[in-house]
Amino acid sequence: MTLFSRISGTGSYLPPRRVTNDDLARELAERGIETSDQWIVERTGIRARHFAEPDVTSSDLGLEASKRALEAAGRKAEDIDLIIVATSTPDMVFPSSAAILQRKLGIAGCPAFDIQAVCSGFVYALTVADAMIKTGSARCALVVGAEVFSRILDFSDRTTCVLFGDGAGAVVLEASETPGILASDLHADGKYVDILSVPGHVSGGKVLGTPLLHMDGQAVFKLAVRVLEDAARAALAKAGKTEADIDWLIPHQANLRIMEGTAKKLKLPLEKLVVTVHDHGNTSAASIPLALDDAVRSGKIKKGETVMLEGVGGGFTWGAVLLTL
Ligand code: UT7
């Protein structure tokens, strides 16, 4: 009997403070920075994002998403035997946000660790959890993407601060006799470090360098369109499937133009594209599980359908996971 891993429940959480493009444009205008709802919508598809209050951490958002995923899976926190949190905005330098989340869930003993692959973090985390389940190291994993990107935004840089938001998504991934995760394909290329980074670090009790996000948007855009197609095709080939087998495409929610471009390259009608970027902005590692949960709860994605998840982000990192829900 082959052992597979399969998603048994999804959950997500957005902090209550919703900031529309007009709200943000007003706040930025007070600092002498000009932007508009029209520019943001035309270039990105983003209409609003959510920002967490200053005392709310990634693990707080991850906890709410996890509770909802556990409930959807019909599981209790005690059933979890592996926790992986994908985040680039962890609560602390260490311990991991996964260990902090474990404590907040009121459990102890199971392995818990963070994965740092920026906006590809969730597909990386899901791939690692799948491998650990297939090798028998875990049977019921909690895989979370959680971010408070508002903390690392430079609100004097209109080319980046209008793009990102905060939030969390989670799935319960369980050992299964029937296939769930069908294939995955992960990559990184460190020569692109400089096009998307937060170059600060902690040393001698001080933050050295700039602890704020820097991005060469056009360079990221070009690379993203290419690698998203490649990763999707590689995952399909590994699973012995074709584009026609994809019921739903959930790319990293950064820019509607990139997402629609990817769907077109894969010859998928835009009705198969799951879009939440208009309401969430780019929530980095949280964007894919947030979009997945949104589509599951709205009844769009149904059990048994085939879904392509695709991440791309700083590192440069990219990857895809093909799964049957
Ligand atoms: O999460 C990781 C993945 N990240 C991504 O996928 C992001 C990829 N990149 C992008 O989504 C796009 O490159 C951006 C949305 C970041 C930018 O869109 P663009 O079409 O590449 O715009 P641009 O950088 O070429 O800027 C066009 C113009 C510039 O003005 P000039 O030089 O033509 O006069 C910018 O200064 O738009 C200006 N601009 C703005 N105007 C109003 C840049 N940001 C803003 C703004 N409001 N917020």
CATH code for position 80: 3.40.47.10
Which of 112, 144, 176 is the last residue before a domain boundary? 176
Ligand 1, atom nearest to 313 Cα: 2
Cβ proximity of 294 and 276 under 8 Å: yes
Indicate if 170 and 225 belong to the same structural domain: no
| Number of domains the chain is built from | 2
Q: How many residues would you count in the chain? A: 325
Quick one: pLDDT at residue 2? 55
How far, in Å, is the centroid of ligand 1 from the Cα of 118?
Answer: 20
Catalogue the long-range contacts made by 268-274 (C-beta closer than 8 Å, 24 or more residues apart).
Answer: 268/243, 272/246, 272/247, 272/248, 273/248, 273/249, 274/248, 274/249, 274/250, 274/300, 274/301
Collapsing DSSP to helix, strand or coil, 139 comes out as coil
Indicate if 130 and 188 belong to the same structural domain: no
Indicate if 204 and 153 belong to the same structural domain: no
90 closest CA partner among 67, 51, 61, 57 = 57
Nearest-CA residue for atom 14 of ligand 1: 217
Which of 120, 141, 176 is the last residue before a domain boundary? 176
Which of 143, 176, 209 is the last residue before a domain boundary? 176
Residue 170 Cβ contacting ligand 1 at under 6 Å = no
Per-residue pLDDT of the chain in tens (325 residues, 90 and over written 9) = 558 999 999 999 999 999 999 999 999 999 999 999 999 999 999 999 999 999 999 999 999 999 999 999 999 999 999 999 999 999 999 999 999 999 999 999 999 999 999 999 999 999 999 999 999 999 999 999 999 999 999 999 999 999 999 999 999 999 999 999 999 999 999 999 999 999 999 999 999 999 999 999 999 999 999 999 999 999 999 999 999 999 999 999 999 999 999 999 999 999 999 999 999 999 999 999 999 999 999 999 999 999 999 999 999 999 999 999 9
Question: 299-321: b or e for each residue (b if 16 or more CB lie within 10 Å)?
Answer: eebeeeebbbbbbbbbbbbbbbb
Indicate if 124 and 194 belong to the same structural domain: no
How far, in Å, is the centroid of ligand 1 from the Cα of 36?
Answer: 12
Quick one: pLDDT at residue 314? 97
Quick one: pLDDT at residue 290? 98
Residue 160 Cβ contacting ligand 1 at under 6 Å = no
Cβ proximity of 314 and 118 under 8 Å: yes
Quick one: pLDDT at residue 103? 98
Question: Which domain range does residue 150 map to?
Answer: 4-176
Quick one: pLDDT at residue 19? 98
